[in-house]
């Protein structure tokens, strides 16, 4: 065994927790992870399974992995959406997704960097505070444009202008991606319809930095502390986030270092609360048979299953049909864990498989409450050449409450405005 | 009441003690190395949720009842339960012997008549050993059928999987062969309690000296397999039998502390059957 490999193995071990080192030896090799893995369906290599990765990681730590096997293992470690399905079905309950993220970080610290695609995205986040590499001045433009276009009932105030009990955190995807900006506009409009006093952070809205953790960047802890301090200084009542990834970051990942993480709610949870309180009343009938896609970061990772379903079912005319794989067994669309930055082809195929599963239930639309999943599923729809509608949860509500701001209408109007600007 | 003469046959004690000392010594050394390896990791703060009852409930359901496996596949659950409890039962057999011995039930000369402990505990030992041995052997055979005949896609049959299965099978089989040979010297009214071992009795009559030689040979093969199993254990997937209960407990406690315990969800919405099962 080469001395260098042993030294590197020791370094990697030092970056993992004791529990994780024990977990690598606890695998019963039953292969249940393989049965359920949505990536394995697309790329059927043993290394893709949790069993394969655990075995290779154990040998890597022991300095007993050959150079070729090491390369294959590193590729497989990043060719994973860290969806956590293997954790849920593992009879030994090995906390796989935490292990993959920690292993990525440990490998980077031992001198084995992430794949190029992820490095690019991480650099953009660190330099520009968003993965798109766009200036922060562009972040709140969706709100300005939507107000000017008459899509909102009032101008959305910035937190620094007006201290409101609720802050709406749109997230990078809905702020910068033109195809997803309607989600932010619809969220703001629904809050206005419910009479919620809210504001946005505008240019000061940071990236939640959760991608740093997903991709194993050791800068995550420092950045998270900075953001937690910022939110503490703001002393806001609730932070409502649109993206399941931001929710997993701010509510889940931050929980160990920030007690205020309890104030972070996902938009679907907040909508449910507003509907229960009678502040938001979906009254117009929307006849649609839909199925619901649980985002991994919302469902499996944070146990938010019921609230989005209640929101859906509060809309008159909506019939909810569950897919065979739902709730804790929901199949990942491939948008998590930095997988898309490594292989967009696999992401598209994973999402296509999910769209086909939805089609098989005979519904007209698949609905998700996460903008990142929405984008992923739209990729899948294209890949699967499906005619089925892929909708955000907001869209279903909007059709019942304020049909003038449908996704299509907002997207077209914003595109026109941005082109003019 | 029947008195049993424990069967005497020549035993290579030196070889036995050497093999056991070597294998157990190596096993302890290998565990020590593993322990040192794990100690290199980051020490996490203890995740005490304050609700030990809930964590204990999960632990019992997952470890003792294999709840997760039951939800995913009944056949695998049954199969693993046979191996798990068969193995535990056989591991406890020497303990039963010690307990019975301490109460005088295993002494050859005892005449204490007790409810089903006629023949001074011998019958209980036989019933216990044969029942758990049968469970283990059936579990291993079913595993072999599943792994090599049915061949579900998730079974890779790597060296690690095959060697352990074969080793456990030979340990159990040689144990029953040994018992079968012993039956030659046991009266029929007592032999019936070795209801599996007697199936391994040699057909026909052989001189007792010849049988004693075979007994020595089989006994040697049996303990050599056992010694091999001890030495292989730290490098085998049998490690999960020791570590899975630890991991299940630790992760349940951590999830409970983080308040993202998925167990209630799993309990409420039972897993769909494993799609490939």
Q: How confident is the model at residue B2 (pLDDT cuts 50, 70, 90)?
A: very low
To test the contact with chain B by mutation, choose from A26, A53, A248, A299 the residue with the greatest count of B C-beta atoms within 10 A, namely: A26
Check A18 against B247: CB less than 8 A apart. Answer: no
Question: What's this model's pTM, rounded to 2 decimal places?
Answer: 0.89
Instruction: Say which residue, A33 or B259, is predicted with more confidence.
Output: A33
Question: Is residue A383 within 8 Å of residue A376, measured between CB atoms?
Answer: no
Instruction: Say which residue, B256 or A157, is predicted with more confidence.
Output: A157
Phi, psi of B76 (to 5 degrees): -70, -35
Residue in A92, A95, A328 nearest the CB of B240: A92
Q: How confident is the model at residue A28 (pLDDT cuts 50, 70, 90)?
A: very high
The pLDDT of A14-40, averaged and rounded, is: 94
> What are chain A's domains?
3-113 (1.10.1060.10), 129-274 (3.40.50), 275-404 (3.40.50)
SS3 for A361-418, per residue?
A: CCCCEEEECCHHHHHHHHHHHHHCCCCCEEEEHHHHHHHHHCHHHCHHHHHHHHHHHH
Whether pLDDT at B158 is above 90: no
Phi-psi region of A235 (alpha: psi -120 to 50; beta: other; left: phi over 0): left
Distance, CA of A414 to CA of A421 (rounded, Å): 10
Question: Nearest 5°: CA angle at A138, between A250 and A340?
Answer: 55
Q: Among A307-311, A414-418, B120-124, B235-239, which stretch is predicted with the lowest mean pLDDT? A: B120-124
Distance, CA of A12 to CA of A62 (rounded, Å): 10
Q: Tell me what pLDDT residue B255 has.
A: 76
The pLDDT of A102-128, averaged and rounded, is: 94
SS3 for B97-166, per residue?
A: HHHHHHCCCCCCCCCCCCCCCCCCCHHHHHHHHHHHHHHHHHHHHHHHHHHHHHCCCCCCCCHHHHHHHH
Edge to edge, the sheet with strand A365-368 lists: A318-320, A288-292, A365-368, A389-392
The pLDDT of A79-105, averaged and rounded, is: 93
Check B254 against A61: CB less than 8 A apart. Answer: no
Q: Tell me what pLDDT residue B54 has.
A: 78
Residue with tokens 């205020």: A260
- A405-412 contact pairs (CB < 8 A, 24+): A405/A151, A405/A182, A405/A185, A405/A186, A405/A189, A407/A182, A407/A183, A407/A186, A409/A151, A410/A146, A410/A151, A410/A181, A410/A182, A410/A185, A410/A186, A411/A178, A411/A179, A411/A181, A411/A182
Q: How many CB pairs under 8 A join A and B?
A: 131
Torsion (CA) B209, B210, B215, B221 in degrees, nearest 10: 140
Q: Tell me what pLDDT residue B47 has.
A: 61
Q: Tell me what pLDDT residue B121 has.
A: 58
The pLDDT of A287-314, averaged and rounded, is: 95
To test the contact with chain A by mutation, choose from B81, B246, B262 the residue with the greatest count of A C-beta atoms within 10 A, namely: B262
The pLDDT of A28-40, averaged and rounded, is: 93
Q: How distant is the Cα of A394 from the closest Cα of chain B, in angstroms?
A: 25
Distance, CA of B260 to CA of A277 (rounded, Å): 26
Q: How distant is the Cα of B176 from the closest Cα of chain A, in angstroms?
A: 27
Whether pLDDT at A355 is above 90: yes
Provide the total of helices (H) and of strands (E) in chain A, helices listed first. Answer: 21, 8
Question: Is residue A234 within 8 Å of residue A159, measured between CB atoms?
Answer: yes
Q: How confident is the model at residue B8 (pLDDT cuts 50, 70, 90)?
A: confident
Check A327 against B265: CB less than 8 A apart. Answer: yes
Edge to edge, the sheet with strand A238-241 lists: A198-200, A166-169, A238-241, A264-266
Q: Tell me what pLDDT residue B46 has.
A: 67
Check B246 against A25: CB less than 8 A apart. Answer: no
Whether pLDDT at A12 is above 50: yes
Check A91 against B161: CB less than 8 A apart. Answer: no
Find, among A99, A198, A177, A179, the residue nearest to A134 by Cα. A177
Nearest chain B residue to A252 by CA: give it: B258
Q: Tell me what pLDDT residue B276 has.
A: 52
Question: Is residue A107 within 8 Å of residue A75, measured between CB atoms?
Answer: no
Q: Among A260-274, A382-396, B48-62, which stretch is predicted with the lowest mean pLDDT? A: B48-62
The pLDDT of B18-34, averaged and rounded, is: 96
Residue in B243, B260, B275 nearest the CB of A302: B260
Hey, how many other C-beta atoms are within 10 angstroms of the C-beta on B82?
21
Question: Nearest 5°: CA angle at A100, between A94 and A102?
Answer: 105
CB proximity A262 to B under 8 Å: no
Q: Give whole-number Cα distances, A336 to A81, A133, A167, A369, B277, in Å.
A: 5, 19, 25, 15, 28
The pLDDT of A191-204, averaged and rounded, is: 96
The pLDDT of A321-350, averaged and rounded, is: 94
Q: Where are the beta strands (DSSP E) in A182-246?
A: 198-200, 238-241
B265 interaction partners in chain A (CB closer than 8 Å): 303, 305, 327-328
Nearest chain A residue to B58 by CA: give it: A93
Whether pLDDT at B110 is above 90: no
A10 interaction partners in chain B (CB closer than 8 Å): 40
Residue in A17, A35, A51 nearest the CB of B42: A17
Residue A158, CA atoms < 13 Å, CB-side half-sphere: 12
The pLDDT of B121-128, averaged and rounded, is: 77
Q: How distant is the Cα of A20 from the closest Cα of chain B, in angstroms?
A: 8
> A365-369, B160-164, B212-216: which has the highest mean pLDDT?
A365-369
The pLDDT of B252-274, averaged and rounded, is: 63
Q: How far does Cα B33 stand from its chain's mean position?
A: 25
The pLDDT of A304-326, averaged and rounded, is: 95
Q: How far does Cα B75 stand from its chain's mean position?
A: 19
Structure tokens at A219: 């800068």
Whether pLDDT at B151 is above 90: no
Instruction: Say which residue, A109 or B100, is predicted with more confidence.
Output: A109
Find, among A327, A252, A264, the residue nearest to B260 by Cα. A252
The pLDDT of A343-372, averaged and rounded, is: 97
Q: How distant is the Cα of B140 from the closest Cα of chain A, in angstroms?
A: 14
What Rg do the C-alpha atoms of chain B give, in angstroms?
22
Determine what percent of chain B falls in helix, strand and coil, rounding each to the nearest 5. 70, 0, 30
Distance, CA of A37 to CA of A44 (rounded, Å): 10
Structure tokens at A359: 């089609």
Q: Tell me what pLDDT residue B264 has.
A: 54
Q: Tell me what pLDDT residue B85 has.
A: 96
Whether pLDDT at B270 is above 70: no
Nearest chain B residue to A32 by CA: give it: B154
Q: Tell me what pLDDT residue B184 has.
A: 81
For chain A, give the percent of residues with pLDDT over 90. 90
Torsion (CA) A266, A268, A271, A272 in degrees, nearest 10: -110
For chain A, give the percent of residues with pLDDT over 70. 99
The pLDDT of B251-264, averaged and rounded, is: 69
Torsion (CA) B175, B176, B178, B182 in degrees, nearest 10: 140
List A residues 296-335 in contact with B (Cβ-Cβ < 8 A). Answer: 300-303, 305, 324-325, 327-329
User: Strand A288-292 relative to strand A238-241: parallel, antiparallel, unpaired?
Assistant: unpaired
Phi-psi region of A307 (alpha: psi -120 to 50; beta: other; left: phi over 0): alpha
Q: How distant is the Cα of A363 from the closest Cα of chain B, in angstroms?
A: 21
CB proximity A22 to B under 8 Å: yes
Structure tokens at B186: 């046991």
Hey, how many other C-beta atoms are within 10 angstroms of the C-beta on B3?
14
CB proximity B235 to A under 8 Å: no
Residue with tokens 């569950």: A322
Whether pLDDT at B111 is above 50: no
Q: Tell me what pLDDT residue B274 has.
A: 59
Q: How confident is the model at residue A100 (pLDDT cuts 50, 70, 90)?
A: very high
Distance, CA of A304 to CA of A307 (rounded, Å): 7
β-bridge mates for residue A158, sequence order? A200
Hey, how many other C-beta atoms are within 10 angstroms of the C-beta on B87?
20
Distance, CA of B196 to CA of B192 (rounded, Å): 9
Nearest chain A residue to B65 by CA: give it: A91
pLDDT tens digits along A141-166: 999 999 999 999 999 999 999 999 99
Whether pLDDT at B3 is above 70: no
Which three-class secondary structure state does DSSP give residue A167? strand
Find, among B29, B48, B9, the residue nearest to B218 by Cα. B9
Distance, CA of A415 to CA of A132 (rounded, Å): 18
């Amino acid at each position: 065994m080469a001395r260098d490999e042993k030294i590197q193995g020791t370094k990697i071990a030092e970056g993992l927790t004791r529990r994780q080192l024990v977990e690598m030896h606890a695998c019963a090799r039953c292969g249940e992870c393989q049965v359920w893995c949505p990536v394995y369906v697309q790329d059927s290599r043993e290394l893709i399974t949790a069993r394969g990765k655990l075995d290779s990681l154990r040998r890597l730590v022991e300095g007993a992995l050959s150079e070729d096997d090491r390369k294959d293992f590193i590729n497989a470690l990043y060719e994973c959406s860290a969806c956590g399905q293997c954790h849920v079905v593992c009879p030994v309950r090995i906390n796989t997704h935490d292990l993959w993220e920690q292993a990525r970080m440990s490998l980077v610290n031992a001198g084995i960097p992430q794949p190029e695609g992820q490095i690019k995205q991480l650099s953009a986040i660190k330099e520009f505070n968003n993965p798109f590499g766009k200036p922060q001045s562009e972040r709140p433009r969706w709100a300005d444009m939507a107000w000017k276009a008459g899509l909102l009932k009032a101008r959305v105030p910035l937190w620094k202008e007006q201290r409101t009990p609720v802050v709406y955190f749109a997230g990078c995807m809905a702020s910068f991606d033109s195809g997803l900006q309607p989600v932010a506009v619809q969220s703001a409009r629904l809050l206005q319809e419910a009479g919620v006093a809210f504001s946005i952070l505008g240019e000061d809205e940071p990236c939640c930095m959760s991608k740093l953790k997903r991709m194993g960047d050791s800068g995550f802890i420092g950045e998270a502390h900075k953001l937690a301090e910022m939110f503490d200084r703001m002393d806001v009542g609730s932070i409502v986030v649109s993206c399941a990834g931001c929710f997993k970051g701010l509510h889940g990942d931050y929980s160990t270092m920030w007690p205020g993480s309890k104030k972070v709610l996902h938009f679907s949870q907040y909508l449910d609360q507003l509907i229960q309180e009678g502040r938001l009343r979906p009254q117009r009938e929307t006849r649609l048979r839909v199925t619901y896609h649980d985002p991994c970061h919302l469902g499996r990772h944070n146990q938010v299953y019921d609230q989005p379903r209640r929101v859906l079912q509060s809309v008159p005319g909506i019939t909810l049909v569950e897919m065979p794989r739902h709730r804790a067994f929901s199949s990942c669309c491939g948008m998590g864990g930095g997988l898309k930055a490594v292989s967009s082809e696999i992401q598209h195929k994973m999402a296509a498989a999910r769209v086909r599963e939805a089609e098989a239930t005979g519904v007209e639309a698949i609905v998700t409450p996460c903008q990142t999943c929405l984008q992923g599923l739209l990729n899948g729809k294209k890949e699967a050449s499906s005619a089925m509608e892929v909708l955000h949860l907001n869209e279903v509500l909007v059709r019942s409450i304020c049909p003038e701001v449908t996704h299509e209408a907002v997207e077209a109007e914003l595109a026109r405005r941005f082109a003019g600007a | 009441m029947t008195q049993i003469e424990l069967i005497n046959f020549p035993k290579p004690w030196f070889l036995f003690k050497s093999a056991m000392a070597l294998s157990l010594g190596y096993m302890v050394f290998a565990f020590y190395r593993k322990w040192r390896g794990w100690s290199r990791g980051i020490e996490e703060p203890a995740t005490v949720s304050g609700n030990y009852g809930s964590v204990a409930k999960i632990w019992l359901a997952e470890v003792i009842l294999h709840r997760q496996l039951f939800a995913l596949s009944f056949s695998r659950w049954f199969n693993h339960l046979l191996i798990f409890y068969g193995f535990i039962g056989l591991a406890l057999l020497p303990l039963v012997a010690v307990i019975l011995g301490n109460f005088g039930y295993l002494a050859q000369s005892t005449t204490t008549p007790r409810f089903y402990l006629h023949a001074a505990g011998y019958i209980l030992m036989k019933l216990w050993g044969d029942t758990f041995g049968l469970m283990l052997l059936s579990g291993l055979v079913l595993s072999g059928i599943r792994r090599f005949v049915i061949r579900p896609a998730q079974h890779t049959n790597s060296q690690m999987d095959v060697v352990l299965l074969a080793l456990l099978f030979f340990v159990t089989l040689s144990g029953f062969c040994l018992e079968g040979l012993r039956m030659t010297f046991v009266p029929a009214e007592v032999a019936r309690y070795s209801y599996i071992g007697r199936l391994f009795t040699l057909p026909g009559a052989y001189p007792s000296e010849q049988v004693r030689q075979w007994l020595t040979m089989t006994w040697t093969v049996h303990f050599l397999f056992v010694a091999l199993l001890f030495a292989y254990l730290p490098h085998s997937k049998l490690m999960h039998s020791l570590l899975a209960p630890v991991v299940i407990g630790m992760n349940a406690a951590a999830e409970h502390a983080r308040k993202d315990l998925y167990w209630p969800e799993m309990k409420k919405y039972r897993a769909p059957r494993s799609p490939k099962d």
